[in-house]
Chains A and B, each alone.
Chain A
Amino acid sequence: EIVLTQSPATLSLSPGEGATLSCRASQSIRSFLAWYQQKPGRAPKLLIYDASNRATGIPARFSGSGSGTDFTLTISSLEPEDFAVYYCQQRSQWPITFGQGTRLEIK
């Protein structure tokens, strides 16, 4: 099973600042990584698929990069609605696995 490790566990930032979230895979997953955003009481929302492709309707301030084992989600300038939990997910190999999440909180 491919283990995804996200860091940091919690990130405290202010609106307008930039955010960098990391996801490391236990073995190469090529570019088969997605990022999701989840707000309290809501279903996850797809942000990025295949490492760097924004999903439909996702603002340009969200970007993804990486391949192999190291991946990054960057939010260029935080809006109030961006404070949430973010998960990475790999689809390279069964079973599909998720990272443990990074909580992005308002400083």
Chain B
Amino acid sequence: EEQLVESGGGLVQPGGSLRLSCAASGFTFSSYEMNWVRQAPGKGLEWLSDIRSSGSATFYADSVRGRFTISRDNAENSLSLQMNSLTAEDTAIYYCARARIEVLGTGAFDVWGQGTKVTVSS
């Protein structure tokens, strides 16, 4: 079964840092682009970041560029999101998601983790 499992969420103070992880199984992780998406309480989905299958390129939403860093370890089948300078507006459920392999561009997100909750509060 193709599966993604996030971890690392929790309560952090404003200005603090947190590192999220996403463990992949059941598919060839190194073949897929991977993404992070978040959902603030009661709100819609917000794409945050993408990383190419080899890790050669990364993309970020303006809201997190310069504060968040996406990375991957294909040998360990894992994806990470380092989050710095956190504010209350970063409070959300964070999902990792696999992008379909497409000839053109980044594919739709066909496998999602269950999410990990991040709360930024003093």
Contacts and interface: CB of A to CB of B under 8 A. Distances in A.
Genuine A/B complex: yes
Interface of A: 32, 34, 36, 38, 43-46, 49-50, 55-56, 87, 89, 91-92, 94-101
Q: Give 4 nearest A-B pairs by CB, closest first.
A: A34-B108, A49-B108, A43-B112, A96-B47
Nearest to A44: B112
A50 B110 CA distance: 12
Given A49-B108, A91-B106, A43 B95 contact: yes
Contacts of B109: 34, 36, 44, 46, 89
Interface residues of B, number: 24
A34 B37 CA distance: 15
A43 B62 contact: no
Nearest to B4: A43
Given A94-B59, A95-B59, A96-B50, A44 B45 contact: yes
A46 B108 CA distance: 8
Contacts of A94: 59
Interface of B: 35, 37, 44-47, 50, 59-62, 95, 100, 104-110, 112-115
Contact of B45 (A46, A49, A55, A98): A98
Judged by DSSP, the binding face of A is loop
B44 A49 contact: no
Contacts of B45: 36, 38, 44, 87, 89, 98, 101
Which of A32, A43, A100 gathers the greatest number of chain B CB atoms within 10 Å? A43
5 contacts: A49-B107, A91-B105, A92-B105, A100-B44, A101-B45
A56 B120 CA distance: 37
B50 A46 contact: no
Nearest to A89: B108
B44 A95 contact: no
Given A43-B115, A55-B108, A89-B109, 5 more contacts: A32-B104, A44-B109, A91-B107, A91-B108, A95-B60
A87 B37 CA distance: 13
A96 B112 CA distance: 16
